[in-house]
């Protein structure tokens, strides 16, 4: 007698967790977007500018190239950020006395005062909270997120270690990239174009 197996799964491929997972991803993207908007409105800064200022506060004077390597940005992107920060009086750029070929970037008093008034960059707050979790839980989160990256076919995308709503140098070369939130279930987050989302000032 032949045993008949009945497939009781629904015709579609959705699972009980689809909507919950997509909603969580949209919330993460929304949190990054809201943080960037608040930083721009309250302090007239972008995420990359704040990260540069905080790196200079930690490390003291450093060359633009060294700064670019520390925060994983291209020298061209760093140059534009430093131009804007210097115009606003937050940094200085002076040549080394012992080697005129090298330029040292340093914070001004106004730059230090600004840092004291601004919140921690989003990635620093996240890192602090992540470190409070047991290592086993951190490993589980890492494994799950790496799988999400693979499922979204995003392994080849550049990813600077910054939780800020702005594209990487490679992304900025693309034409009118659609925000990730719109690609994940249609969340209503502003689209990105150029170096920064259109709700922000330049990097």
**Cut 0.85: pTM above it:** no
Rounded to an integer, the average pLDDT of 107-126 is: 85
Helix residue ranges per DSSP H, the chain: 18-43, 47-59, 64-70, 75-87, 109-117, 122-131, 135-151, 180-183
CATH for 93: 1.10.10.10
Residue 26 near residue 181, CB atoms below 8 Å: yes
- Greatest mean pLDDT range, 32-36, 100-104, 141-145: 141-145
The C-alpha atoms of residue 184 and residue 153 are separated, in whole angstroms, by: 13
Q: Which two tokens stand for residue 145?
A: 């997120």
For residue 126, give the H/E element and its range.
helix 122-131
Q: Which domain holds residue 73?
A: 47-108
Q: Environment class of residue 11 by beta-carbon count within 10 Å: exposed (0-12), middle (13-18) or buried (19+)?
A: exposed
31 or 203, which is more confident? Answer: 31
124 confidence band (pLDDT: 50, 70, 90): confident
Q: By three-state DSSP, how is residue 91 classified? A: strand
163 versus 66: the higher-pLDDT residue is: 66
* Domains identified in the chain, total number: 1
């Amino acid at each position: 007698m032949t045993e008949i197996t009945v497939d009781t799964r629904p015709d579609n491929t959705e699972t009980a967790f689809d909507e919950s997972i997509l909603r969580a991803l949209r919330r993460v993207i929304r949190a990054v977007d809201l943080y960037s908007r608040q930083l721009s409105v309250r302090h007239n800064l972008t995420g990359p500018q704040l990260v540069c200022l905080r790196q200079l506060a930690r490390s003291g004077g450093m060359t633009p190239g060294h700064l670019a390597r520390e925060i994983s940005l291209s020298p061209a992107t760093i140059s534009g950020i430093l131009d804007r920060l210097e115009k606003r009086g937050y940094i200085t750029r002076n040549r080394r006395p012992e080697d005129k070929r090298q330029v040292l970037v340093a914070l001004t008093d106004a730059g230090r005062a600004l840092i004291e008034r601004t919140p921690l960059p989003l990635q620093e707050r996240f890192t602090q909270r992540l470190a409070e979790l047991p290592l086993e839980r951190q490993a589980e989160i890492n494994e799950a997120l790496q799988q999400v990256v693979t499922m979204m076919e995003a392994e080849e995308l550049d990813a600077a270690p910054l939780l800020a709503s702005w594209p990487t140098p490679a992304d900025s070369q693309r034409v009118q990239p659609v925000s990730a939130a719109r690609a994940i279930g249609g969340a209503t987050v502003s689209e990105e174009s150029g170096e920064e989302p259109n709700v922000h000032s330049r990097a």
